Structure 1
Amino acid sequence: MSTFSTVIAFIILFGALVFFHELGHFIFAKRAGILCREFAIGFGPKVFAWKKNETMYTIRLLPVGGYVRMAGEDPETIELRPGLIVGLILNNEGIVQKIVLNKKEQYPEAKIVEVEQADMERELVIRGYEEGEEQVNRYPVDEKACYVENGIETQIAPWNRQFHSKPLLARTLTIFAGPLFNFILAAVIFIFLGIVQGNPSDEPRLGKITPDGSAIEAGLQEGDIVYAIDGAEVTSWLDIVEVIQANPEKTLTFQIERNGEFLEIPVVPQNVDGGGKIGVYQPMDKSPLKAFVLGFEQTAFWTKQIFIILGDLITGGFTIDALAGPVGIYASTEIVAQTGIFSLMRWGALLSINLGIMNLLPIPALDGGRLVFLGIEAVRGKPIDKNKEGFVHFIGFALLFLLMLVVTWNDIQRFFL
């Protein structure tokens, strides 16, 4: 696979993992009534932006993450302070639809008002003086009104649309939904692969026949049901494997059923490293029901395995060299991609599980760290001060960014120097 193809595969793969993670946050936030200002894939400068309804959808330059910007998580950047001159655009009922902050001459229909007092969260009202008047007027504000600055509209965030206004359960589900969607994505990939490729079956039936083995020379065919070998009954694929491996270069008589006909076919297993082989793959079951069940079983299995590895890292002594960043994932993706699209999809499922687990770790700035604060709130009956929580997350983000730099440098030395 060319370098260009690998880069495209990496961007699509990592972008899909981030997209589904953020989609989980986004869906549950919208269901809770939280105003989502932006749904972003990547960080840094915007490459693409498209606004629909309340949300700006963006793709940013650096494909190393993403975010959903929910109202109330960060301080509002616009504040209507007393003395500020604004232009108010009203509807027919006299309710404010737009608040023009500058270049007011471009909006001749706007009422020019000097703000005396404004509550844009709970009361949704602006009080102020129109030009040439001394009387304070009261202007009710629509809950979907927008600020307009340099021609760019930003919707206001009433208290009932902010993240922290929602019940504890709704906020918890919104945060947990990101990692949850990563596990769901992994299960969906495993289910798809199970339907398309099939899952290993333990039936005493022959799978694909290789073109250079003794099975094809003897006349065995894919789908043959083996019910006995040398007169000894076999009931599973494992039984067949054990008999073949134990008898290299010895003639074995396979009693098989093929399309309702019973046949006996002599086969001489080849000697490969002291064990017998006849060139037959294990049969694959493509049943959608079985694929559905095994898809979730594989997700649970690999989740457990990753937790075991994390436990070994902690108990065995944590080292930076044991971690891989975007560069390491890129290098591994390049290797996996060379083995085909299905291997790349399976690799994506494992990365999705890993992303879900990493985000659930109780580390500030990650989803797990935010869930810890919500858990503390549940115990003490009131939230921790937003400024204190924000400071903890800021420190956590700074440390994670530093760790990412170190891990990336290690990856570059490991794979490219």
Structure 2
Amino acid sequence: MELFSSAYDILIGYIVPFLFVLTIVVFFHELGHFLVARWCSVKVDAFSVGFGREIFGRNDSKGTRWKLCMIPLGGYVKFAGDENAASVPDRERVAAMSDEERSGAFIAKPVWQRAAVVAAGPIANFILSIVIFSMIFMTFGKIVTLPIVETVQAESAAEIGGLQSGDLILSVDGKEIPTFADLQRIVSVSADVPLLLEVERGTSVVTLTVTPQYRELTDRFGNVQRLGLLGVSRSPQKEDLIQKTYGPLEAVAAGTKETVFIAERTLDYLWGVLSGREAADQLGGPIRVAQVSGQVATQGIIPLLSLAAVLSISIGLLNLMPIPMLDGGHLVFYFAEAVRGKPLSERVQDIGFRIGIGLVLLLMVFATWNDVVHLTKS
């Protein structure tokens, strides 16, 4: 009975939230490919959420097989003339097609149309993120705190940099700071990076240089995060709390800003990993996503939707990496084709796809290893 209860808890607490989040993200990514393909008159053989054996599916009026498969770790849209789910062309099959069939094959379309179809997946991920954030802002708004310093910790980055209690942070590196949360977000990803602060102190404005200190923090779920910290606390006064509401256009603008911010910080972290400035152990795979999904689900549907938006951005950026097998790799091939006036040779493309498979598998193994290490430490 205990074993059954434990399995039920894992199913409801982790697997269901994980599948909810991942299915939303994957579906919209593939829907982007699908809609632009239809617009470009590409015949779509299959639209799949998941890989492996089909659980159930149906054919639509244009011959596309819509299906849900057993392995829920991704999805694909398979076009006419494709050899597999990664859109590797089946040249022998295309050569054997009639003229009418070939006109609907993905490989037979102009390079700009193929590029548009491929780019539509990541773009759909970014649009999904904007929509989710916009809906949350428009429906619930948010309570924000003015960026007023209440206390300064002894020997902290703030004290060393000259911040004082009562200071109102106006800008960081020339960027306006309307809320305390905006200050935290910039500081958290700027460990050991000098920041130029404009501060209103009394009736004057002073300029300070503050370098956030590198710290490890453990959240209430036991997850360890490495962040930059100033060592200040926000004002608890009611008059410094603001209930911010958004109209439709303001919500879209705020959702777009949120999406751009997360994308920028994600790219900054990845560049930090490549340059050796950041540790790569924060890169997570499906196990980590499932764990975080379960943790966030305990806080309600809105945090879970926010996680879906963040994951959607990550999936969009990942797919734009210039690695063959990913959307970004296809776009590199199409760019080369547009410049040369003809496609790269079959041999070059085959080698590229083989390298891409190796890199993707290596990334998956590395991310899963990080997940396992993270679990053993928590």
* Band of TM-score, shorter chain: 0.5 to 0.7
Q: Give the TM-score, by structure 2 length.
A: 0.67
Q: Structure 2 regions of 5+ residues with no counterpart? A: 1-7, 84-88, 147-177, 181-201, 203-231
Question: What's the CA shift string for 1:134-182, capped at 9, x where partnerless?
Answer: xxxxxxxxx5xxxxxxxxxxxxxx2111112111111110000000000
For the pair 1:67 / 2:76, whether they are aligned, the reply is yes
Question: What's the CA shift string for 1:252-307, capped at 9, x where partnerless?
Answer: xxxxxxxxxxxxxxxxxxxxx99863457431213222112111111112111111
Is the 1:39–1:69 contact (alpha carbons within 8 Å) kept by the matching residues of 2?
yes
Tell me what 1:232 maps to. none
- 3-state SS of paired residue (1:333): helix
Cα displacement (A) at 1:319: 5.9
Q: 1: CA distance between counterparts of 2:82 and 2:294?
A: 37
Q: 2: CA distance between counterparts of 1:306 and 1:194?
A: 22
Tell me what 2:236 maps to. 277
Which of 97, 115, 124 is equivalent to 1:172?
115
Read off the aligned partner of 1:295 and give its amino acid letter: G
Q: 1: CA distance between counterparts of 2:312 and 2:15?
A: 18
When you count strand as a share of all residues, which structure comes out higher? 1
For the pair 1:185 / 2:128, whether they are aligned, the reply is yes
Read off the aligned partner of 1:289 and give its amino acid letter: L
For the pair 1:334 / 2:311, whether they are aligned, the reply is no
Is the 1:40–1:68 contact (alpha carbons within 8 Å) kept by the matching residues of 2?
yes
Which of 97, 102, 110 is equivalent to 1:120?
97
Cα displacement (A) at 1:22: 0.5
Q: Give the TM-score, by structure 1 length.
A: 0.61
How many residues in Structure 1 have an aligned counterpart in Structure 2? 281
Structure 1, 312-321 or 356-365: larger mean CA deviation:
312-321
When you count helix as a share of all residues, which structure comes out higher? 2
For the pair 1:395 / 2:355, whether they are aligned, the reply is yes
Q: 2: CA distance between counterparts of 1:309 and 1:299?
A: 15
Is the 1:237–1:282 contact (alpha carbons within 8 Å) kept by the matching residues of 2?
no
For the pair 1:11 / 2:19, whether they are aligned, the reply is yes
Cα displacement (A) at 1:338: 1.8
Tell me what 1:31 maps to. 39
Cα displacement (A) at 1:328: 1.1
Q: Could you list the runs of 4 or more consecutive aligned residues of structure 1 that deviate by over 3 angstroms after TM superposition?
A: 75-80, 199-203, 273-276, 278-281, 317-320
Q: 2: CA distance between counterparts of 1:407 and 1:274?
A: 35
Larger Rg belongs to: 1
For the pair 1:22 / 2:5, whether they are aligned, the reply is no
What is the root-mean-square deviation in Å for CA atoms of aligned residues?
2.9
Is the 2:273–2:280 contact (alpha carbons within 8 Å) kept by the matching residues of 1?
no
Structure 1, 60-69 or 293-302: larger mean CA deviation:
293-302
Structure 1, 179-188 or 309-318: larger mean CA deviation:
309-318
Q: Structure 1 regions of 5+ residues with no counterpart? A: 81-117, 123-142, 144-157, 204-235, 239-245, 247-272
Q: 2: CA distance between counterparts of 1:368 and 1:2?
A: 38
Q: 1: CA distance between counterparts of 2:267 and 2:364?
A: 21
Q: 2: CA distance between counterparts of 1:411 and 1:402?
A: 14
Is the 1:189–1:345 contact (alpha carbons within 8 Å) kept by the matching residues of 2?
yes
